[in-house]
Chains A and B, each alone.
Chain A
Amino acid sequence: MLEPQTYPTMVAKALVLDDEPFTAMIEDDNPWVEGLALTVIVSLIAGTAQTIGGWLTTLSLPDATTVENALVTGWRQFSAATALPPAVTETIFTRAWSAAAGWTGYAGGWGVLTPLIATPFLAIAWWLFFAVVAFAAARALGGHGSLNSTLGAAALMVAPQVLVFLSIVPFVTVSGALLGVWGLLIGYRAVQSTHHLPWRKAVLATLIPYAAALIVVPIIATAYVLGFSAGGFR
Chain B
Amino acid sequence: MNQHTYVHMPGRLQKEDWLRWSNWMPSLDQMGAAVRLKVADAVDPFERGYVTVTMRQGIGMILVLGLLAGVIPLFANLWLAVPMRTSVPLAQAADSIAQFLSTNGGYVPLDIAGHTVQTIAGLEPRMPGIFAAILSALGTWINWPLGWLANWIVYGVLVFAIARLMGASNTLPAFFAATSFTAVPLLLTGLTPLPCIGPLAALAGLILGFAVYFQACRFVTRLDSGRTLLCMLLPPALVIVVPMLLITLAAILSIFQLG
Q: Which residues of A contact B (CB under 8 A)?
A: 9, 12, 15-18, 20, 56, 58-63, 66-67, 70-71, 73-75, 77-78, 81-82, 163, 166, 169-175, 177-178, 181-182, 184-185, 199
Residues of A within 8 A of B135 (CB): 56, 60, 169-171
Q: Which residues of B contact A (CB under 8 A)?
A: 12, 18, 54-56, 59, 86-90, 108-109, 112-113, 115-116, 119-120, 123-127, 131-132, 135-136, 138-140, 142-143, 146-147, 149-150, 153-154, 157, 164, 172-173
Q: A70–B139 contact, CB under 8 A?
A: no
Q: B115–A171 contact, CB under 8 A?
A: no
Q: How far is the CA of A177 from the CA of B147 in the complex (A)?
A: 11
Q: A178-B149, A185-B172 are in contact. Are A171 and B136 (CB under 8 A)?
A: yes
Residues of A within 8 A of B132 (CB): 59-61
Q: A77–B56 contact, CB under 8 A?
A: no
B169 nearest CB across to chain A (Å): 10
Of the candidates B12, B55, B124, B153, which one forms a contact with A178 in the assembled complex, judged by CB atoms under 8 Å apart?
B153
Q: B54–A16 contact, CB under 8 A?
A: yes
Q: A172–B143 contact, CB under 8 A?
A: yes
Q: B56–A70 contact, CB under 8 A?
A: no
Q: B119–A169 contact, CB under 8 A?
A: no
Q: A17–B172 contact, CB under 8 A?
A: yes
Q: A166–B142 contact, CB under 8 A?
A: yes
Q: A178–B116 contact, CB under 8 A?
A: no
A36 nearest CB across to chain B (Å): 24
Q: A16-B55, A82-B109 are in contact. Are A169 and B138 (CB under 8 A)?
A: yes
Q: A171–B89 contact, CB under 8 A?
A: yes
Q: B142–A172 contact, CB under 8 A?
A: yes
Of the candidates A17, A62, A78, A81, which one forms a contact with B120 in the assembled complex, judged by CB atoms under 8 Å apart?
A62
Q: A171–B126 contact, CB under 8 A?
A: no
Q: A174–B146 contact, CB under 8 A?
A: yes
Q: A171–B87 contact, CB under 8 A?
A: yes
Interface centre among A60, A81, A184 (most CB of B within 10 A): A60
Q: B120–A171 contact, CB under 8 A?
A: no
B68 nearest CB across to chain A (Å): 17
